[in-house]
Structure 1
Amino acid sequence: MNMLALLLPPVSYNPNGRNMRAELMAEATLLSRADRVGSNMLTAINLTSCVDFLADWERVYALTPSPGDTLQQRRQRILAKMSETGGLSRAYFIQLAKALGYGITITEPEPFRCGRNRCGDRLWTPDIIWVWIVKIESGEKIPVYRFRCGASATGERLTSFGRNYLEGIFQELKPAHTQVVFDYSESA
């Protein structure tokens, strides 16, 4: 308020007058509020420091958070959605799963063919060429989110377990002609 009073012409206005003081106080309050909003806008650019604008990021990427999702879970889903550049290769989907925190392998089974296969090989139907089997590496079934300063919010649990968003993202992005089967079995 005192800074604004210094901007007044020296003789024309009395900065100590009752009406002028109220006007200067109102202007100072509005300028302070505008400064805070401007500072908050800078945090909206960086997803790792963004809290107030997280809902806007989710709206832009068409994500709907669950009521119990932590800030870390919400940010991870946005980052995964941002990294969706598109692709139909296995390498693309493996990299996408890695961005979500999952280690996977993708196999494309082939039907049994005379001259290529031998006794003891698995008999698949001819339509198996349209199936991907996604094997989730052991210990990678459910991501664990631990409370961390700067990455978590007040009131969140110290440890929370995420849901498997991998299946939903794969079903959304997979080639239209394929079927994805998820294998959670432990390796022998």
Structure 2
Amino acid sequence: MTGNDYSELLYLLLPDGYARTGLRLNAELQAEGNALANAERSAQDVLNGITPLTAVALLSDWERVLALPVSTGMTIQARRQQIMAKLNETGGLSRSYFIRLAKSLGYDVTIDEPEPFRCGRNRCGDRLWVPEIIWVWIVNIEEGQVPVYRFRCGSSATGERLMSFGQNMLENIFRDLKPAHTQVVFNYAGSKTE
């Protein structure tokens, strides 16, 4: 309802005999009607903020609670996707867990775990890795895997671009979840490391 609707309702609640022509009375009713309309909008924002899928005004609270970084220029859709990815984290140390997590963010990745050169196992022409390479894993991301966010009514806000390209949330999430004793390297060339 609008402020005018509420001021009409408030006028109907007045006792009989009040003249509608009073300038102060009309100003008071309009002010009270606007306050009620603002309270209704705020209540709707709180109701929408219960889930990040519909949150707009309370997105920053979701990001604060989940300790998520927010870059300037991120669209509402990108922010919602980042929140949902954080909420869907179940934890895991396996390759398949990280591949599924990347898939939920819209990326098709493969993960390589290089091993040092070993006599009897490797052959001439194989890559010579240092022994510490066992603590490194390489995430291969195919070219053209940057998320695209198109402006949508109901999912975007006034002033956002009609199309924007998302920051790579994958790196932040993987670095946050990786085992502490490992190092993750991101390979965007699309060529697998052997």
In 2 relative to 1, CA 3–181 (structure 1 residues): closer, same or farther, beyond 3 Å? closer
**Residue 153 of structure 2 corresponds to residue 149 of structure 1:** yes
The corresponding residue for 2:100 is 95
Q: CA deviation at 1:51?
A: 0.9
Q: Please name the residue that 1:124 is paired with.
A: 129
Give yes or no for contact 1:5–1:15 (8 Å, CA) kept in 2: no
Equivalent residue number for residue 49 of structure 1: 54
CA distance in 2, matches of 1:138, 1:70: 22
Shift of 1:30: 5.6
Decide which of 178, 184, 187 is 2:188's aligned counterpart.
184
C-alpha contact (below 8 Å) 2:115/2:133 kept by paired residues: yes
Whole-Å separation in 2 of the counterparts to 1:153 and 1:46? 17
Name the structure 2 match of 1:59: 64
Does the 8 A contact of 2:140 with 2:190 survive in 1? Answer: no
Matching of residues 1-188 of structure 1 within 5 Å: 16=18, 25=29, 32-140=37-145, 142-187=146-191
TM-score, structure 2 normalization: 0.78
Structure 2: how far apart are the matches of 1:76 and 1:30? 34
Give 2:187's aligned amino acid. D
CA distance in 1, matches of 2:16, 2:109: 73
The SS at the match of 2:49 is helix
How far does the alpha carbon of each residue in 1:147-185 deviate from its partner, in whole angstroms, 9 at most, with x for none? 122211111111111221222222221101111111111
Residue 4 of structure 2 aligns with which residue? none
TM-score (norm 1): 0.80
1:33 offset after TM fit, Å?
A: 4.4
Question: Identity across aligned pairs (percent)?
Answer: 62
| Unaligned ranges ≥5, structure 1 | none
Report the secondary structure of 1:78's partner residue: helix
CA distance, structure 2, for counterparts of residue 147 and residue 105 of structure 1: 30
- Number of aligned pairs? 181
Cα pair distance change 1:105/1:14, threshold 3 Å: same
